[in-house]
């Protein structure tokens, strides 16, 4: 992978930063965040501005360009990838390391006195704006909104914003109608005494209306906003997508409805003016509810006195707790996904020794097997198919320049998942097709111990996920090892594979307490730069736990693995496991054998079934 040459582009951007065509006064720095106007993690090609200007196309990163410098902040998952993809014009700022300055501190250290720092007000979340603006102001600088996106002004062949057809989801998938979701939302609004709610996140719009789209790869969402009043519903969406009879029927656009459920369809681009109109019509004590991660532009559209901002919206919190229809769907999706992976791993075991399987071929084969399953829609993220040293690039995606051939001598790490109409999957398995070294087995076993420590943890109702993160690391820490990413993220139900408001991470972000019905991933790892990567990931469902006692009647929770794919026993050093951990592995494999075995049988996939039976043989303590 050779870095993108950005000398010319940076020159053009620096010209735009001074051009009266775009800025009233020159800006001495310009911030290019990752996100789109909805603060999405996964974005459409037209929104990949940070990748365009820098070459670094990982999912998280912020670029800042000054007259002299160009710097990129990203986290531990992407240190290697960013270093590979960016040319010498760029300085990599490794977030999470002790000596890495924050963006604000760095700006203050490099800017001349009284500088202006520009940013697109639609792309920067309001909470980030506030923090950065305050820090800059206290050092004598100013953060200023630049209406025209400066990257767009130099991006000659910028792709069009997508506008693809919608998918309607009936009650058998969603469990709750959009009308009942609106009702529940309005009752939360009444509780907080707000009159309006602005839906800005794409997955929240999709969830609220029981619609899905395909405007963004991997995330079944579509570009839209909504403003929900106590008696009105406005959906901001472009194109003839709402002319589809199925969509009209689903949204009851042509029915005679109580007025409070009548959906007004409004052009996507009119959100700012419509929201400004809502804002000016307010009287005291009439509030507008927005996420504090909504864009600065939309937040500013509502006068400060009328704003009600929260870190998580009631939709985000309701969406995280899956109902019975959703968990049933997630279970079905994970069974199908496991069938595909049994097929894949059986196939790899036969093909790898021939020396013809590359990372890309393996990833394609995984997609092929998944696509054979019922209700398959697309992948849920770019498959991480990595062997040997590529495995240490935490969010690696094979491309022709880096594509390695799987061999009998290297560890292979596959982190992959799919969108099915009934659920979203995300699973990582790490395998060896020959004989792993003692050291590889040792590291794998520490990671496994961490995975089990989280999966089998019992904890009180109301515990926040970040309190479980250290369980995943303890075995690694004991030997001086660690991994530089969080342990788990929320997973959507046929929605984004990463969703809030819960997770398992050492970062003390404001995660919401775990409750039964939430779904998160459990994915500790260990990575050795230049050598190998190990990660073991299941998607797990939060369920009530039975305990011997029940302190203060609080009740306890634990996890049930939804992912049912064998964990390669060849990689385990059984001597490092406790009896309890051994039993966990054996019980897990017994369940894989029963549940996935039955489905493989039903689908007539006999060879994969034999593979499954071999791979789920109980561990024997030596």
- Using CB under 8 A, list all residues that contact a copy of itself: 98, 138, 140, 284-285, 308, 457-460, 462, 466-471, 474, 476-482, 506, 508, 545, 547-552, 554, 556, 578
State the nearest-atom distance from the C-beta of 539 to a copy of itself, in Å: 22
- State phi, psi for 297 to the nearest 5 degrees: -60, -50
Which of residues 2 and 579 has its CB atom nearest to a copy of itself in the complex? 579
State the nearest-atom distance from the C-beta of 136 to a copy of itself, in Å: 14
Which of residues 232 and 310 has its CB atom nearest to a copy of itself in the complex? 310
State the nearest-atom distance from the C-beta of 454 to a copy of itself, in Å: 11
Which of residues 354 and 552 has its CB atom nearest to a copy of itself in the complex? 552
State the nearest-atom distance from the C-beta of 549 to a copy of itself, in Å: 4
Contact in structure between 422 and 173 (CB atoms under 8 Å): yes
Q: Alpha-carbon distance 226 to 193, whole Å?
A: 19
- State phi, psi for 437 to the nearest 5 degrees: -75, 165
Which of residues 286 and 364 has its CB atom nearest to a copy of itself in the complex? 286
In this structure, the dihedral spanned by the alpha carbons of residues 212, 214, 219 and 223, taken in order and rounded to 10 degrees, is -80
Q: What is residue 499's three-state secondary structure?
A: strand
Phi-psi region of 435 (alpha: psi -120 to 50; beta: other; left: phi over 0): beta
State the nearest-atom distance from the C-beta of 353 to a copy of itself, in Å: 32
Q: Alpha-carbon distance 40 to 438, whole Å?
A: 42
Q: Alpha-carbon distance 64 to 67, whole Å?
A: 10
State the nearest-atom distance from the C-beta of 11 to a copy of itself, in Å: 33
State the nearest-atom distance from the C-beta of 113 to a copy of itself, in Å: 9
State the nearest-atom distance from the C-beta of 451 to a copy of itself, in Å: 16
Which of residues 5 and 477 has its CB atom nearest to a copy of itself in the complex? 477
State the nearest-atom distance from the C-beta of 41 to a copy of itself, in Å: 23
- State phi, psi for 476 to the nearest 5 degrees: -65, -45
State the nearest-atom distance from the C-beta of 469 to a copy of itself, in Å: 7
Which of residues 306 and 381 has its CB atom nearest to a copy of itself in the complex? 306
Q: What is residue 55's three-state secondary structure?
A: coil
Which of residues 5 and 97 has its CB atom nearest to a copy of itself in the complex? 97
Q: Alpha-carbon distance 574 to 80, whole Å?
A: 32
Which of residues 444 and 494 has its CB atom nearest to a copy of itself in the complex? 444
Nearest to 239 by CA among 250, 252, 224: 224
Tell me which long-range contacts 104-111 makes (C-beta under 8 A, separation of at least 24): 104/131, 104/132, 104/135, 104/136, 105/135, 106/64, 106/71, 107/29, 107/64, 107/66, 107/136, 107/141, 108/135, 108/136, 108/139, 108/141, 110/66, 110/68, 110/69, 111/28, 111/29, 111/66, 111/141
- Residue 560 bridge partners (DSSP): 541
Which of residues 504 and 539 has its CB atom nearest to a copy of itself in the complex? 504
Which of residues 247 and 476 has its CB atom nearest to a copy of itself in the complex? 476
Which of residues 123 and 457 has its CB atom nearest to a copy of itself in the complex? 457
State the nearest-atom distance from the C-beta of 461 to a copy of itself, in Å: 9
Q: How far is CA 600 from CA 335, 345, 383, 606, 613, in A?
A: 9, 14, 23, 7, 11
Tell me which long-range contacts 86-89 makes (C-beta under 8 A, separation of at least 24): 86/3, 86/4, 86/6, 86/54, 86/55, 86/56, 87/3, 87/4, 87/5, 87/6, 87/7, 87/55, 89/6, 89/7, 89/10
Nearest to 211 by CA among 249, 159, 261, 155: 249
């Amino acid at each position: 992978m050779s870095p993108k040459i950005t000398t010319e582009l940076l020159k053009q951007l620096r010209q735009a930063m001074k051009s009266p065509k775009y800025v009233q006064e020159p800006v001495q720095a310009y911030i290019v965040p990752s996100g789109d106007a909805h603060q999405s993690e996964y974005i459409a090609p037209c929104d990949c501005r940070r990748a365009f200007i820098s070459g670094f196309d990982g999912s998280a990163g912020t670029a800042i360009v000054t007259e002299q410098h160009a710097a990129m902040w990203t986290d531990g998952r992407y240190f290697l990838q960013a270093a590979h993809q960016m040319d010498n014009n760029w300085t990599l700022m490794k977030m999470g390391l002790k000596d890495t300055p924050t963006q604000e501190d760095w700006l203050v250290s490099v800017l001349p006195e009284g500088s202006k720092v520009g940013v697109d007000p639609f792309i920067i979340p309001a909470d980030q704006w506030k923090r950065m603006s305050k820090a800059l102001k206290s050092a004598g600088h100013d953060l200023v909104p630049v209406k025209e996106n400066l990257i767009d002004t130099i991006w000659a062949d910028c792709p069009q914003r997508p506008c693809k057809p919608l998918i309607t989801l009936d009650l058998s998938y969603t469990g709750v109608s959009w009308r009942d979701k609106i009702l529940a939302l309005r009752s939360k609004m009444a509780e907080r005494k707000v009159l309006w709610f602005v839906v800005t996140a794409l997955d929240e719009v999709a969830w609220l209306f029981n619609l899905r789209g395909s405007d963004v790869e991997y995330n079944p969402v579509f570009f839209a906003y909504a403003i929900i009043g106590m008696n009105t519903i406005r959906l901001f969406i472009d194109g003839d997508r709402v002319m589809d009879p199925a969509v009209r029927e689903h949204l009851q656009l042509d029915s005679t409805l109580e007025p409070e459920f009548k959906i007004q369809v409004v052009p996507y681009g009119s959100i700012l003016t419509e929201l400004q109109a809502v804002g000016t019509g307010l009287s005291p004590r009439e509030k507008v509810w927005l996420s504090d991660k909504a864009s600065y532009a939309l937040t500013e559209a509502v006068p400060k006195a009328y704003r009600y901002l929260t870190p998580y919206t009631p939709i985000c919190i309701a969406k995280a707790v899956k109902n019975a229809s959703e968990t049933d769907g997630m279970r079905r999706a994970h069974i199908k996904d496991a069938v595909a992976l049994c097929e894949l791993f059986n196939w790899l075991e036969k093909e790898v020794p021939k020396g013809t399987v590359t990372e890309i071929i393996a990833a394609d084969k995984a997609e092929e097997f998944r696509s054979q399953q019922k209700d398959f829609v697309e992948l849920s993220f770019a498959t991480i198919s990595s062997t040997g040293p590529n495995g240490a690039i935490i969010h690696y995606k094979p491309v022709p320049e880096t594509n390695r051939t799987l061999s009998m001598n290297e560890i292979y790490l596959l982190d992959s998942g799919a969108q099915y109409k009934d659920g979203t999957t995300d699973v990582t398995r790490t395998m060896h097709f020959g004989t792993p070294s003692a050291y590889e087995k040792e590291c794998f076993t520490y990671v496994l111990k961490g995975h089990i420590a989280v999966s089998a943890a019992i904890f009180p109702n109301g515990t926040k996920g970040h309190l479980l993160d250290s369980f995943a690391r303890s075995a690694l820490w004991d030997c001086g090892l660690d991994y530089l990413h969080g342990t788990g993220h929320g997973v959507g139900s046929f929605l984004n594979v990463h969703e809030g408001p819960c997770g398992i991470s050492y970062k003390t972000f404001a995660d919401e307490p775990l409750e039964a019905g939430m779904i998160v991933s459990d994915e500790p790892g260990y990575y050795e730069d230049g050598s190998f990567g190990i990660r073991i990931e299941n998607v797990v469902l939060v369920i009530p736990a039975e305990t011997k006692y029940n302190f203060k009647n609080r009740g306890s929770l634990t996890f049930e693995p939804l992912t049912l794919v064998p964990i390669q026993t060849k990689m385990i050093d059984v001597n490092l496991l406790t009896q309890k951990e051994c039993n966990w592995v054996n019980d897990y494999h017994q369940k894989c054998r029963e549940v996935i075995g039955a489905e493989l049988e039903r689908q007539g996939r006999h060879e994969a079934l034999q593979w499954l039976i071999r791979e789920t043989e109980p561990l024997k303590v030596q």
